[in-house]
Structure 1
Amino acid sequence: MLREALTSIVKFHSYLQSRTDARVRDYPLMQSPVHMTTILLGYVAFSLYVGPRLMANRKPFHLNTAMIIYNVSMVLLNAYIVYEFMMSGWATTFTWRCDLIDLSTSPQTLRMIQVAWLFYFSKFIELLDTVFFVLRKKQGQITFLHVFHHSFMPWTWWWGVTLTPAGGMGSFHAMVNSTVHVIMYTYYALSAAGPRFQKYLWWKKYMTAIQLTQFILVSIHISQYYFMEKCDYQVPLWIHLIWMYGVLFFLLFSHFWVQAYIKGKRLPLTPEKSKQNGSTSEPFTVVANGKHLQNGNGHHYTNGKIFMGKVKEV
């Protein structure tokens, strides 16, 4: 039984290697799903178990300078990704409707492949968001939504980049996501820069609205496929998965919006009460005593256990 299972795994691995697009085969982390899956499993373990326990009896690190450098770097990286997506098709040759997967080796196609891989690789860099939380003992920010989003996104994108690196209309959501991240990391850079910048951060509440808009745009764009008389997109599975992705994350972030701004469980702090904070995809969390944790601002837990963003005292 075990031998048959191992044989099946080896066969599937060989099949993936044979199906890997030759144009992206030599890029880092593209040879096998084992490497990226191992990294992401390690990320989840570190975020939820290993990291909090290593920091349990240690003082939090003060990483404001590192976070400023990191956030500014992410702004520049995502801006570059948006520009490359535009220049490699979305602002040049794409119709914004039924744009097919490009199988050629033209300079523009190779440019699209390069930026598609760069977008995928940037998701591994973004895992540092959580590392900063752990090192600064901000476990309250490590929610289910945060961990799921950071681990699910790069795992699914490996398959798309491996099999169809120049994905045509399937790459729209990557460009939109990078655009949103330019805005997000700009906010986080200003936030980490100190109290004197708090007066410029009045738009924190609208970060979730921007994220919701992202998922609406992605869902509307990809939904065109279902209403076209003819669209010979080569891998319809990608269309269905992107649509489900947009709807799933719209529901998750909508739930957050309801909890934060309608039910008032995660209301933002006023600028006068705000302190320096870090970076996260979830603007606010709340603990049992009703005190708010704003982007890394809150109490430290030195002997607690973490359960998906909630700390239980022992």
Structure 2
Amino acid sequence: MSGLRAPNFLHRFWTKWDYAISKVVFTCADSFQWDIGPVSSSTAHLPAIESPTPLVTSLLFYLVTVFLWYGRLTRSSDKKIREPTWLRRFIICHNAFLIVLSLYMCLGCVAQAYQNGYTLWGNEFKATETQLALYIYIFYVSKIYEFVDTYIMLLKNNLRQVSFLHIYHHSTISFIWWIIARRAPGGDAYFSAALNSWVHVCMYTYYLLSTLIGKEDPKRSNYLWWGRHLTQMQMLQFFFNVLQALYCASFSTYPKFLSKILLVYMMSLLGLFGHFYYSKHIAAAKLQKKQQ
């Protein structure tokens, strides 16, 4: 009997949890005048779309785990650890997988946009474009998987990388793409998904090379000199997204509230990445020059 009670208990718990989370999310969306309903027929049948609870649960687990893990590491006296072989192999596979997945999503979104006769911006969402909706859905799910990036940083005891910018970006982008995948997985959303996927091809290629080469390899600078330009590419991406949001909010039939969310969000990322770029590449260079 105990074996039967556990599934029933979990089912009742999830039902109540789902009701509470959904009520909070949809109430907040209404207060912001975000028209996140109805669910698009092109993605309604897919997991973690109709209800926000699977995503929110993943987000809460991510944030609590990172907070507790980070706190434990900051209190630890052993700041330097030897990277185990299994972790290095996992990082290589993780980065290689995301390179292939990002390229797949980028090319898929571009190909569908071409087949559907899209212009650069100003494209209407159509629920009949199910293949593009599938690419958008995969892109949304990939944002949840990318939480692993943070876990890798913590496993490596690399606390410097676990910054406010990193946590903010990873925790918010998945929620925004849940709204897009739920409400309008197509139309103008193709541009952001394709552009971000291409940037991630470059980013995870950099991470893969960094892992393969190693920190002490004298050839490191020959292959990884373009790290600064990678940040510039990310900032250029956000700039194009800001322009897209301004254009679509004025001229596109794509849901206006999504264009407004995109505008505010990309401006915040542009500011945060700009501060990061200045601190790492400009201010640090000035300080080094003074010390010389």
TM-score (norm 1): 0.73
Q: Which residue of 2 aligns with 1:254?
A: 274
Seen in structure 2, the aligned counterparts of structure 1 residues 60 and 124 have a Cα distance that, compared at 3 Å, is farther
CA contact (8 A) 1:86 1:92 kept: no
Deviation digits for residues 189-225 of structure 1, max 9, x if unmatched? 0000024551211111111101111011112223223
User: What does residue range 68-83 of structure 1 map to in structure 2 within 5 Å?
Assistant: 68-83=92-107
More strand by percentage: 1
**Structure 1 CA distance, aligned partners of 2:121 and 2:178?**
24
The reply to whether residue 218 of structure 1 matches residue 241 of structure 2 is yes
Which amino acid letter does the alignment assign opposite residue 127 of structure 1?
A: F
- Contiguous gaps of at least 5 residues in structure 1: 269-314
Distance 1:267 1:40 in 2: 38
Give the alignment partner of residue 178 of structure 1, picking from 182, 193, 197.
Answer: 197
What is the root-mean-square deviation in Å for CA atoms of aligned residues? 3.1
One-letter amino acid of the structure 1 residue matched with residue 91 of structure 2: M
Give 1:91 deviation, angstroms: 6.4
**What's the counterpart of residue 231 of structure 2?**
208
Gaps of 5+ in 2: 1-18
Distance 1:234 1:130, change over 3 A: closer
Of 51, 58, 61, which residue of structure 2 is paired with 1:42?
A: 61
Percent identity between matched residues is 26
Which of residues 66, 79, 82 in structure 1 aligns to 2:90? 66
**1:10–1:71: structure 2 CA closer, same or farther, 3 Å change rule?**
closer
The separation in 2 between residues aligned to 1:227 and 1:72, in whole angstroms, is: 39
The alpha carbon displacement at 1:163 in A equals 1.2
Q: 1:189 is matched with which residue?
A: 208
* Cα separation, 1, equivalents of 2:21 and 2:55: 21
Q: Per-residue displacement from partner, 1:5-47 (whole Å, max 9, x unpaired)?
A: 969928958x999722232122121131111011111111111
Residue in structure 1 matched with residue 42 of structure 2 by the alignment: 23
1:84 aligns with 2:103: no
Go from structure 1 to structure 2 and tell me whether the alpha carbon gap of 1:193 and 1:35 turns closer, same or farther (over 3 Å shift): same
Correspondent of 1:132 among 136, 152, 156: 152
Return the alpha-carbon distance in structure 1 between the equivalents of residues 69 and 59 of structure 2. 14
Partners of 2:283 and 2:21 in 1: how far apart?
52
Match of 1:164 in 2: 184
Note if contact 2:36-2:179 (Cα within 8 Å) is conserved in structure 1. no
How do 1:2-21 and structure 2 match up within 5 A? 9=23, 12=26, 19-21=38-40
Q: Is the 8 A contact 1:219 1:243 kept in 2?
A: yes
Q: Distance in 2 between matches of 1:204 and 1:21?
A: 39
Q: How many corresponding residue pairs?
A: 256
Paired amino acid for 2:188: M
In 2, distance between residues paired with 1:136 and 1:162?
35
Q: For the structure 1 residues 97 and 54, does the alpha-carbon distance in structure 2 shift closer, same or farther, using more than 3 Å as the test? A: closer
Using structure 2 for the length normalisation, give the TM-score: 0.78
Amino acid at match of 1:24: T
Structure 1 residue 50 displacement after superposition: 3.5
The answer to whether the 8 A contact 1:170-1:242 is kept is no
